[in-house]
């Protein structure tokens, strides 16, 4: 089982759907056929590719073949992806910090523009709302 065969097996959306089904629990071929909406021969071909790549195991249960995920190849893929996950996490954290800085700068600029827009002798809406101090005209 090579990395290339794992990636090739997972490249097909039908095979990824089968892997997702088997993630829940082992299933007989009939259930996989029904859940995927594929023909039985087509489903069997996809299962063979997954089996050849080492992603699934099959066991005979009376007249049925029951397929289950083999976690070892998935763990190998996860280990291979770990440095890339770290890279993306670092990049997304930096993006989050930049967006926070931009939002803070925008809020500060908006507040400064509001104060500047209020002419001398006029009151802002916030000051108009404060009625506890009588005006000199009273």
Digit-coded pLDDT (tens) for 4-27 = 888 999 999 999 999 999 999 999
Residue 32 CA to residue 43 CA, distance in Å, equals 7
Digit-coded pLDDT (tens) for 22-47 = 999 999 999 999 999 999 999 999 99
Digit-coded pLDDT (tens) for 88-107 = 888 888 888 989 888 888 88
Residue 110 CA to residue 116 CA, distance in Å, equals 10
The b-or-e profile of 88-104 (16+ CB within 10 A means b, else e) is eeeeeeeeeeeeeeeee
Within a 10 A sphere around the Cβ of 131, how many other Cβ atoms?
A: 7
Residue 130 CA to residue 104 CA, distance in Å, equals 27
């Amino acid at each position: 089982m090579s990395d290339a065969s794992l990636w090739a097996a997972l490249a097909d959306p039908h095979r990824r759907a089968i892997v997702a089904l088997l993630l829940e629990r082992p299933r007989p071929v009939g259930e996989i056929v029904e859940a995927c909406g594929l023909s039985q021969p087509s489903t069997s071909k996809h299962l063979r590719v997954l089996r050849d790549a080492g992603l699934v195991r099959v066991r005979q249960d009376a007249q049925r073949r029951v397929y289950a995920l083999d976690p070892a190849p998935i763990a190998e893929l996860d280990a291979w992806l770990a440095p890339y996950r770290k890279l993306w996490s670092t990049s997304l954290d930096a993006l989050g910090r930049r967006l926070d800085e931009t939002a803070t700068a925008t809020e500060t600029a908006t507040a400064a523009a509001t104060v500047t827009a209020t002419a001398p002798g006029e009151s802002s809406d916030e000051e108009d709302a404060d009625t506890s101090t009588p005006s000199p005209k009273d």
